[in-house]
């Protein structure tokens, strides 16, 4: 059963203007975004989460100075935090997603199991892995987040987990004590404290009933594993705060997720070679124009779309039987069709952004894919297999700075 623990959360003081100090997650920020956020307020979380010149010692000094000055204050007791996001999705439907922020157990990679993951209170006791990845991850330098975690001894931004257990949404329906509310890019974000031990235990019991699937933050979770192992090696202990990492967890059900596609961009390949690979598996038909309505048509018709810098776009219609026995994921279909084609693959969320990149001429073509269904995400989790990289784009994105989770006692505590 995955451990999910409350902790004395480090939060901005009630007198701080949250609109000035919160920020989107570091991995969606451009350099210009970071500069703007740094200038927005001297206490903006990016001064710690994305420090200037990657000066992690200065980031740590800034963080602890804020604690000393009362800019950040720690809860007096262990708490969980309800996080609600209200928005209008791409179809124009009003939505609200609710989840809980807490400390999620850091477990070994599935490939390492039968490895022993120590159970609470014992060293070396075997247990099964219950926090699962859902897609293969692309290589990425790990030193930035790892060095920042080492310097600050703090989880700054949460990973996003999906609970396969039922009942979490209902358990979070009743509000907690308000911590704050902001509106960012049309999304209303609100966070509430849970201090009642009985309610905390009830939420823990729900999450302990089934696996948690990582939705976003695979790299951050991998960093937490490295950091945990370093703390174990340094202390010889398996009961420190490094055994968990900051996580937002919500329920894996239809009305609690908003999933968009991450489209594929191909380069370092001729148009003819790419087309030859695709047409072995897809019939093609011309498409007069690509608009937001095309994305809905793709879902309705079961088709993909290829877009090149010149010439009309084309429907990609799967040929009968070619994907029999192949998982019903557009990313897997494309990997199958282009298995013998030597091409570089890039990824881009957003239709307009993808079309602009193709029009600029830096790519041979883009293939627009459909969002992964909830059913396929759940089936993948249950069967213990991984989707291709960038199979899902969960929206909206969580803001950083609501809750920070120190992995060591605060200075002076």
Structure tokens at 138: 């692309």
* 282, containing H or E segment: strand 282-287
Q: What is the pLDDT of residue 119?
A: 34
Whether the per-residue pLDDT at 116 is higher than 90: the answer is no
Dist. CA 56–CA 151, nearest whole Å? 6
- What confidence tens digit (pLDDT) does each residue in 303-338 have? 999 999 999 999 999 999 999 988 888 998 999 999
* Predicted confidence band of residue 142 (pLDDT cuts 50, 70, 90): low
Reply yes or no on whether the pLDDT at 2 is more than 90. Answer: no
| Cα–Cα dist 322/369, whole Å | 18
Q: Distance of CA 272 to CAs 69, 276, 280, 287, Å?
A: 63, 6, 12, 19
pLDDT for 115? 33
Q: Check pLDDT > 70 for residue 290.
A: yes
Q: Please, which residues bridge with residue 304 across strands?
A: 316
pLDDT in tens, 153-206: 999 999 999 999 999 999 999 999 999 999 999 999 999 999 999 999 999 999
State the pLDDT at residue 377.
78
Which pLDDT does position 125 carry in this prediction? 36
pLDDT confidence band for 411 (50 / 70 / 90): low
What is the rounded average pLDDT of the residues 252-275?
90
pLDDT single digits (tens) 225-250: 999 999 999 999 999 999 999 999 99
How many angstroms separate the CA atoms of 112 and 147, rounded? Answer: 24
Contact assessment for residue 187 and residue 85, using Cβ atoms and an 8 Å cutoff: yes
Question: How many angstroms separate the CA atoms of 331 and 335, rounded?
Answer: 6
Which region holds residue 382: left if phi is over 0, alpha if psi is between -120 and 50, else beta? alpha
Q: What percent of the chain has pLDDT over 70?
A: 89
DSSP secondary structure of 12-63: E-TTS-HHHH-B--GGG--HHHHHHHHHH-TT-THHHHS-GGG-HHHHHHHH
Is residue 282 over pLDDT 50? yes
- pLDDT of residue 412 exceeding 60: no
pLDDT digits (tens, 9 = 90+) for 8-54: 999 999 999 999 999 999 988 989 999 999 999 999 999 999 999 99
pLDDT band at 403 (very low <50, low <70, confident <90, very high): very high
Categorize the per-residue pLDDT at 90 as very low, low, confident or very high, splitting at 50, 70 and 90.
Answer: low
What average pLDDT does this structure show over 289-297?
90
The reported pLDDT for the residue numbered 217 is 85
- Cα–Cα distance between 100 and 177 in angstroms, integer? 13
Per-residue pLDDT for 121 more than 60?
Answer: no
Determine the pLDDT at residue 375.
79
Among 257, 252, 151, residue whose Cα is nearest residue 210: 252
**Is pLDDT of 94 > 50?**
yes
Calpha distance 340→348 (Å, rounded): 23
The more confidently predicted of residues 284 and 377 is 284
Sort residue 117 into left (φ over 0), alpha (ψ -120 to 50) or beta.
Answer: beta
Locate the DSSP E strands across 235-279: 244-251, 258-260, 262-267
Give the gyration radius of the chain's Cα atoms. 22
Task: Quote the tokens at residue 60.
Answer: 């740590």
Confidence at residue 158, expressed as pLDDT on a 0 to 100 scale = 96
What pLDDT is attached to residue 329? Answer: 85
Largest CA distance in the chain: 68
Give the model's confidence band at 127: pLDDT under 50 very low, under 70 low, under 90 confident, else very high: very low
- Residues in a beta bridge with 80: 194
């Amino acid at each position: 059963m995955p451990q999910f623990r409350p902790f004395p959360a480090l939060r901005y003081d009630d007198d701080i203007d949250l609109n000035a100090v919160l920020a989107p997650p570091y991995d969606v920020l451009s350099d210009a975004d970071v500069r703007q956020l740094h200038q927005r307020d001297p206490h903006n979380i990016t001064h710690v989460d994305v420090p200037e010149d990657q000066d992690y010692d200065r980031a740590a000094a800034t963080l602890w100075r804020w604690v000393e000055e009362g800019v950040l204050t720690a809860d007096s007791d262990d708490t969980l935090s309800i996080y609600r996001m209200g928005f209008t999705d791409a179809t124009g439907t009003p939505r609200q997603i609710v989840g809980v922020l807490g400390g999620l157990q850091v477990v070994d990679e599935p490939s390492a199991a039968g490895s022993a993951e120590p159970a609470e209170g014992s060293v070396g006791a075997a247990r099964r892995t219950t926090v699962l990845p859902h897609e293969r991850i692309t290589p990425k330098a790990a030193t930035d987040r790892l060095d920042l975690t080492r310097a600050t001894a703090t989880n700054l931004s949460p990973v996003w987990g999906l609970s396969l257990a039922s009942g979490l949404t209902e358990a979070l329906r009743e509000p907690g004590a308000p911590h704050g509310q902001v509106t960012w890019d049309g999304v209303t974000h609100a966070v509430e404290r849970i201090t009642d031990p009985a309610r905390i235990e009830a939420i823990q019991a729900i999450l302990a009933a089934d696996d948690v699937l990582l939705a976003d933050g695979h790299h951050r979770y991998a960093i937490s594993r490295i950091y945990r192992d370093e703390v174990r090696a340094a202390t010889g202990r398996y009961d420190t705060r490094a055994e968990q990492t900051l996580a937002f967890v919500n329920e894996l059900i239809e009305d609690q997720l908003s999933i968009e596609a991450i489209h594929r961009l191909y380069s370092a390949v001729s148009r003819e070679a790419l087309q030859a690979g695709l047409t072995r598996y897809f019939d093609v038909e011309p498409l007069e124009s690509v608009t937001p309505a095309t994305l809905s048509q793709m879902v309705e018709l079961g088709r993909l779309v290829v877009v090149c810098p010149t010439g009309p776009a084309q429907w990609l219609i799967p040929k009968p039987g070619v994907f029999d026995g192949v998982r019903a994921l557009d990313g897997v279909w494309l990997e199958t069709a282009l298995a013998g084609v030597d091409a570089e693959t890039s990824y881009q969320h957003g239709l307009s952004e993808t079309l602009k990149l193709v029009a600029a001429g830096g790519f041979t073509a883009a293939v627009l894919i459909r969002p992964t269904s909830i059913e396929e995400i759940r089936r993948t989790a249950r069967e213990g297999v991984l989707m291709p990289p960038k199979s899902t784009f969960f929206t909206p994105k969580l803001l950083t700075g609501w809750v920070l989770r120190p992995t060591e006692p605060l200075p002076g505590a």
